[in-house]
Structure formats: structure tokens, C-alpha cells
Amino acid sequence: MKREGIKDLNSVLTSQGYIADKAITMAVYLAQKLQRPLLVEGPPGVGKTEIAKVLAKAADTELIRLQCYEGLNAEQALYEWNYQKQLLALKMMESEKLSVDEKEGMIFNEEYLLKRPLLKAISMDKSPVLLIDEVDRADEEFESFLLELLSDWQISIPEMGVVKAKHIPQVIITSNRMRDLSEALRRRCFYLWIDYPSMDKELKIVRRKVPEIDEKLGTQICAFMKEIREMKLEKIPGIAETLDWAQALAALHIDHLDKEVVEDTLGIILKDWKDIRETGLSLSELFEKTGVIPKV
């Protein structure tokens, strides 16, 4: 049965500490099998970037990360020429009688090329995982650079010609939906939307990542997070915050939530003072909803 493949992938992800639901496993599996980039969207802190890290670890291969930002350009993402080295080479060639064309050919070749993440990713000996993080932060022009790479697995360098990929890397692209990505980019990728986890899933993640946590406390934390995400907050906490909180509380040897504990540690899950103030004010209500009875 070929369907074993998908089960294997799921257990590999789980063994690396990544709890994936059906949709995630399917998307990753098909992206691997059909050699397509995987575009992952979702709110911050739900484990978009984590997928790439886990995949690299599982395949025991290198993770090449390109963090996008406004103004990111080809030199920083694809390649740049090593100008100092080129100048020195030209000096050394001074005595040789070479034509301009010959010299140009010598200094514009791979030896003088500084490989930036994208070029590096396609010229490695073992297929790496390429993480293009927060692609929505880069300019729209940058997306066009990506298109050639993602559909034909090659990069054109005007001075040298086309560099073809030695091995096709596994590409994970993440986006926070700051702006809409172009249709052209979307069409080249498989698409995955990761939302805030269900309580069950979050509890599984917490138990997996913070095994020392008290069972009751784990449940309370996840129930509390679920309610907090329903509130109108400036910054909704993600799984990363849940884990931080769980770790902190476990380290403090706390076995259940009470008002005092929550008040003292709210800063771990909420990163905006307004959120902290408002949550602080509606703590009793939150406790009621989560079924936790605060000790007076």
C-alpha cells in the first residue's frame, strides 16, 4: 500500500516533536513527492517555520533560511560577486596578455561568486530544506525572482548563464498575510493554512514539548489559552507562547492555575501592555469559562 508513506511521514514528524493533523501531513507529503514548494500561511506563532526545521532535522539535511524583509534584493537573496577577489585577480593578470573578454570570463565565474541562500540551496550536494520565511515582508518584485527558481529550479546569472539545481531542495515558504501574494507564486506552490490549534492538539503539543508538566496544569493552560484567543486582543498568543508559559510554570513547580499565578505570569503569553491590562481585569470571567475555580 502506497498509503504507508503518509503514515510514515506522520510518525517521523511526531518523533521530531511536531504534532501534525491530516491536512498538514498531506500537504507536506505531496509537496515532497511532487517536488513542489509548500506555501504555509496562518497567524503568527502556530508553527509555520517549525515545519521546515523539523523536516530538515528528520531528513538530516541542512536548513537554509532566507528571512525576508522590505528592500530585500537579488544580491542578498541570490548571489553577489566577490569584488575584492576580482580586483586582486585582475591585478595578478596584469602581466598576462589577455583580451578584455578573456579576463571578464575569468573573473565572472563560480570561483568569484558569493552564494546567497537561494543559489546555495540549489547548488548543494544533498538536497536541503530551503525556508523562505515571511515572504510577505519582501517587495512584490522579490516574488518575481522566486518564480524562476520555484518552477524551473534554476537561477539565471547574466554574466555566467543559467545555474541548474544539482538537487531540488524542499522549499517551505511562510507568510503572515501582511499582503496578498501574487497568483503566479501561489500557482507554483501547494498551499497550507495552519490555524490556532484545537485544544486537544495544543494539549498534545504541550505534553510532547514539556513532558514534566503536571497533567491537570497542562489541561488548564490549554483551556485558558483557548479562551484568551477568543478575546479581542492586539496580539493573539500562538503555540510558542503556550509552550513558554507551560515551561515557566513547570519550572516553578506549579501544579494548577490560580489567580495569583496567572497575574504574575501574564507577561509570558501577552506581549502588549493593553492586552495584559484588559486580560487582568477579566480574569475571573476567564476562570469561569475555563472551569477553573480560583482560590481566594
Partner 1 sequence: MIKRQTTLSGNIVAFCRNLRKYDFFIGPNEEKDSLVAIELLQAYQEPGMMELCLQTTLCKTAKQLKVFPKLYKRYWKELDKAVDSKLEEKEDKSNTTAQQGKQAPSIQVIKNWLYGNKSEDETEMAAYSDLAVTGRSSFPGFEDREMKEVFQLVQKLVKKIANRRSRRFSTTHKKAQIDLKKTIRKNILRNGELIEILHKAKKKEDLRVVLLCDVSKSMELYSRFLIQFMFAFQNLFPKIQAFVFSTSLYHISEELNHYSIDQSLQKVLDKVDTWSGGTKIGSAFQSFNDDYAHKYLTSKTLVIVLSDGWDTGEAELMGTEMKKIHRKAMKVIWLNPLAGSSDWKPEVVGMKAAIPYVDALLPFYNIDSLKSVVKDLKI
CA distances 85 to 111, 112, 251, Å, are 9, 7, 52
Maximum alpha-carbon separation in the chain? 91
For the chain, count helices (H), then strands (E): 15, 9
Interface with partner 1 (CB under 8 A), residue from 63, 119, 131, 189: 189
Nearest CA among 216, 151, 156, 158 for reference residue 189: 151
Q: Which stretch binds partner 1 (CB under 8 A): 88-96, 213-221, 243-251, 262-270?
A: 88-96
Q: Binding string to partner 1 for residues 1 to 40, with x set by CB under 8 A, is what?
A: xxx-xx---------------xx--xx--x--xx-x--x-
Distance CA 254, CA 271 (A): 22
144 lies in the binding site for partner 1 (CB under 8 A): no
DSSP annotation of 192 = E
160 binds partner 1 (CB under 8 A): no
Minimum distance from CB of 156 to partner 1 (Å)? 16
Which residue's CB is nearer to partner 1, number 91 or number 253?
Answer: 91
Give me the least distance between CB of 271 and partner 1, in Å please. Answer: 16
Phi then psi dihedrals of residue 134, to 5 deg: 55, 55
Grid cell for residue 223: 483551556
Reported as half-sphere exposure (CB side, CA atoms, 13 A), residue 150 has a value of: 24
Nearer to partner 1, 187 or 216 (CB): 187
Binding segment for partner 1 (CB under 8 A), chosen from 65-73, 160-168, 262-270, 275-283, is 65-73
What's the closest the beta carbon of residue 280 comes to partner 1, in angstroms?
Answer: 22
Supply the minimum distance, in Å, between the C-beta of residue 158 and partner 1. Answer: 10
Judged on CB neighbours under 10 Å (0-12, 13-18, 19+), 171 is buried
Binding site for partner 1 (CB under 8 A): 1-3, 5-6, 22-23, 26-27, 30, 33-34, 36, 39, 41, 70-71, 73, 81, 83, 86-91, 93-94, 100, 103-104, 107, 139-141, 177-180, 183, 186-187, 189-193
